[in-house]
Amino acid sequence: MTKTEEREVRDAIFEKYYIVDDLYDEVEIKNIEKSIEHISYAQADTVSKDPDDDYRVSSVKWIPFENDWIYDRIWEHSNIANNELWGFDVIGFKDSAQFTKYTAPTGKYDYHLDINGEGINHRKISVICALNDGYKGGGVEFKTGRETHALDLKKGQAVFFPSFFLHRVLPITEGVRKSLVQWISGEPYR
């Protein structure tokens, strides 16, 4: 949907998130991994870029935009979620999707916002898709007011949520957790 297309105006439900059970199937997940196997992992950082900080402990690869089918699927479902829940003005992708790997026993990402920092205030909708199973820990938690919502995503399952949600990835206690993370952009918040 573009900015010029009309949509039904209704009250936004900002405290809700949206689950897609099978964003990618087993074969598609293998194809995602194969498409980036030539790309080296980099140590993930945060806006503060403090190398001694254990606030975020993971490795990342950036998925090139030429993998259209990956982005098309995210765009399709983000529009469904957005139309049902939030009604953000969205325009597409500014950031490449991130393939993230968390490894036990230190892998984690403490509570954060996906819009908190210079150069990322365009993010409106965030997406986390689980790309494997067989690990322990690594659940996603959201804080919405006094409520904490805990999710253990299954392989292929994705959650779409407003980028201003306070959220974290709990420590991985066993194995390796792989996920695809993406943000849908709009005009910066003002």
Pick the CATH number of 18-44+55-185 from 3.10.180.10, 2.40.110.10, 2.10.10.90, 2.60.120.620: 2.60.120.620
Contact 135, 174 (CB under 8 A): yes
User: Which residue has 């049902």 as its token pair?
Assistant: 84
Which of 52, 26, 32 is closest to 155 using CA atoms? 26
The pLDDT value given to residue 107: 96
Q: Give the bridge partners for 138, in sequence order.
A: none
Position 47 scores a pLDDT of 61
User: Cα–Cα distance between 35 and 57 in angstroms, integer?
Assistant: 24
Whole-prediction pTM: 0.91
Give me the sheet containing 147-151, strands edge to edge: 56-57, 108-112, 166-169, 140-144, 147-151
Half-sphere exposure for 74 (CA within 13 Å, toward CB): 29
**Full pLDDT tens readout for the chain, 190 residues:** 444 455 555 678 888 999 999 999 999 999 999 999 999 999 987 665 565 578 899 999 999 999 999 999 999 999 999 999 999 999 999 999 999 999 999 999 999 999 988 889 999 999 999 999 999 999 999 998 888 999 999 999 999 999 999 999 999 999 999 999 999 999 887 7
Q: How many CB atoms lie within 10 A of CB 186?
A: 19
Residue 147 has phi, psi (to 5 degrees) of -85, 140
Pairing type for strands 59-63 and 42-43 reads antiparallel
